[in-house]
Amino acid sequence: MPPPPTSHGPRPAGSPIWRRAAKVAFYFWHDGDAVHLYTSGTSKVGHKDWGTIVLTGGKISGVHRVNLKASDLTELKGTTEVIFHFETTKGLNQVYFYISGGTKIKITGTYDGGALSNLILYGKNATPSKANPVTFDLTK
pLDDT of residue 103: 94
Asked if the structure places residue 46 within a domain, the reply is yes
Asked if the structure places residue 8 within a domain, the reply is no
CATH of the domain at 102: 2.60.40
| ∠ Cα 2 105 134 (to 5°) | 55
Calculate Rg over the CA atoms of the chain: 14
Asked if the structure places residue 73 within a domain, the reply is yes
Give the E-state strand segments of 1-140 in sequence order.
25-31, 34-40, 47-66, 73-77, 81-88, 92-111, 120-122, 127-128, 134-137
Asked if the structure places residue 12 within a domain, the reply is no
Q: How many domains is the chain partitioned into structurally? A: 1
CA-nearest of 117, 24, 100, 94 to 56 is: 100
CA-nearest of 85, 94, 87, 92 to 34 is: 94
Asked if the structure places residue 66 within a domain, the reply is yes
Q: How confident is the model at residue 10 (pLDDT cuts 50, 70, 90)?
A: very low
Percent of the chain with pLDDT over 90: 35
User: Contact, 26 vs 51, CB < 8 A?
Assistant: yes
Asked if the structure places residue 80 within a domain, the reply is yes
User: Contact, 107 vs 74, CB < 8 A?
Assistant: no
Domain residue limits at 101: 25-137
Asked if the structure places residue 132 within a domain, the reply is yes
Question: pTM, whole model, 2 decimals?
Answer: 0.83
Asked if the structure places residue 16 within a domain, the reply is no
User: pLDDT tens-digit profile of 82-107?
Assistant: 999 988 776 678 899 999 999 999 99
Percent of the chain with pLDDT over 70: 77
